[in-house]
């Protein structure tokens, strides 16, 4: 073996220096890398952020599906499958929707429902067309009476036969049971329809469907989204007042306020949050007020709260002035009545003065 002779007086280049020499020989100056256009860098950062958001949402959806599969497996292994009274119907269609709009209603609200049908809710073939072409599902949401099959239930069945626009829940109706009804709605809706968003709205609120769709579609790439008019009202400890909170002691000293949550007239949540409610429905605590309950379910989760004041405009002249200024409201109601005051009589007036153009939803590309 020949030993390599030492080279005295000649310094050998380091690995880094050798690489630089090779690049220079090839006509590539490493210093040119720092001269990149700043606009290109910003563009690349923006693209990277979009990719990360998309991946985040995909991972979130997969986690929710995995949790649902595990829950089903546990029920099978333990030999205690879901009881018949909680069993959900099979999905009606295997397609993707933009949003499911559940209009919360009661047995005594026939005139309110008719006012909604006469204004912002399409009827008949147009309702089906809205689902098929725009991916928007709309249903009045109601449970059953305490006397199953009684006169109240039969009246709803007759109304459903005429209009075909109800979603019946395995739930006994009652004002003090709104939190339970909310859980039942999201659980049922997420089982029936695969949508990006699930919306709850009261039957005494005016809604512009096209504007709502355009608003929510902006958040499609984001996981765990909670959209509404965020508020933080006082915790009412005294009995006998409206919105009394029996569990006021949980919120600290008297006079404290609730955590931020969306007002109950209209709000929307993304699919993974609706799935979360469905999976954990039996352990989610119900407070006296439905909107507080929903907000509490998301407190410990990585959820993005989006406060959009167009979801809680006032009735004319407020929503009318905004419409004239080109800022169409998503929803309009009177805060003093927690909905449109005397909505059965005033819905047409509000729709005439604050409603979007009839073609808006049909020309929209969500």
Report whether pLDDT(254) > 70: yes
Centre a 10 Å sphere on the Cβ of residue 247 and count the other Cβ atoms it contains. Answer: 13
Share of the chain above pLDDT 70, in %: 74
Report whether pLDDT(118) > 60: yes
Per-residue burial over 254-270, b if 16 or more Cβ lie within 10 Å, else e, is eeeebeebbbbbbbbbb
The CA-CA-CA angle for residues 329, 334, 338, to 5°, reads 115
Determine which of 61-65, 116-120, 327-331 has the lowest per-residue pLDDT on average.
61-65
What's the pLDDT band for 53 if we cut at 50, 70, 90? Answer: low
Place of tokens 């409610």: 277
Report whether pLDDT(320) > 90: yes
Determine which of 10-24, 156-170, 202-216, 332-346 has the lowest per-residue pLDDT on average.
10-24
Q: Which pTM does this prediction carry?
A: 0.76
Give the containing element (helix H, strand E) for 138. Answer: strand 136-144
What's the pLDDT band for 244 if we cut at 50, 70, 90? Answer: confident
What's the pLDDT band for 77 if we cut at 50, 70, 90? Answer: very low
Task: Tell me how far the alpha carbon of residue 267 is from its chain's centroid.
Answer: 7
Tens-place pLDDT, residues 99-112: 999 999 999 999 99
Alpha-carbon distances of 163 from 89, 127, 157, rounded to whole Å: 21, 10, 10
Q: Is there a contact between 184 and 191 (Cβ–Cβ < 8 Å)? A: no
Higher pLDDT pick, 201 / 69: 201
pLDDT value at position 249? Answer: 83
Question: What torsion, rounded to 10 degrees, do the Cα atoms 193, 197, 202, 203 define?
Answer: -50
3-state secondary structure of 99: strand
């Amino acid at each position: 073996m020949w030993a390599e002779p030492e080279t005295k007086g000649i310094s050998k280049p380091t690995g880094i220096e050798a690489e630089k020499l090779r690049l220079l020989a090839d006509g590539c100056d490493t210093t040119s890398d720092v001269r990149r256009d700043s606009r290109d860098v910003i563009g690349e950062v923006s693209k990277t952020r979009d990719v990360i958001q998309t991946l985040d949402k995909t991972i979130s959806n997969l986690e929710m599906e995995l949790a649902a599969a595990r829950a089903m497996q546990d029920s099978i292994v333990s030999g205690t499958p879901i009881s018949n009274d909680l069993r959900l119907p099979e999905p009606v269609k295997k397609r993707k929707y933009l949003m499911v709009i559940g209009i919360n209603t009661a047995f005594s609200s026939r005139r309110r429902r008719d006012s909604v049908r006469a204004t912002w809710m399409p009827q008949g073939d147009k309702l089906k067309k809205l689902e098929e072409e725009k991916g928007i599902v709309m249903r009045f949401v109601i449970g059953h009476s305490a006397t199953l099959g009684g006169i109240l239930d039969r009246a709803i069945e007759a109304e459903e036969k005429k209009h075909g626009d109800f979603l019946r829940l395995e739930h006994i109706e009652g004002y003090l049971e709104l939190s339970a009804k909310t859980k039942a709605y999201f659980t049922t809706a997420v089982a029936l329809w695969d949508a990006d968003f699930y919306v709850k709205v009261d039957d005494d609120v005016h809604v512009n469907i096209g504007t709502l769709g355009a608003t929510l579609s902006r958040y499609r790439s984001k996981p765990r989204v909670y959209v509404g008019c965020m508020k933080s009202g006082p915790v009412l400890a005294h009995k006998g007042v409206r919105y009394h909170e029996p569990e006021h002691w949980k919120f600290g000293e008297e006079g404290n306020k609730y955590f931020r949550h969306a007002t109950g007239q209209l709000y929307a949540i993304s699919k993974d949050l609706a799935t979360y409610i469905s999976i954990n429905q039996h352990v989610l605590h119900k407070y006296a007020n439905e909107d507080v309950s929903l907000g509490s379910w998301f407190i410990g989760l990585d959820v993005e709260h989006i406060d959009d004041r167009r979801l809680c405009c006032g009735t004319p002249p407020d929503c009318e002035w905004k419409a004239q200024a080109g800022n169409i409201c998503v929803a309009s109601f009177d805060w003093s009545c927690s909905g449109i005051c005397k909505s059965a009589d005033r819905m047409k007036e509000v729709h005439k003065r604050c409603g979007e153009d009839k073609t808006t939803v049909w020309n929209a590309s969500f």
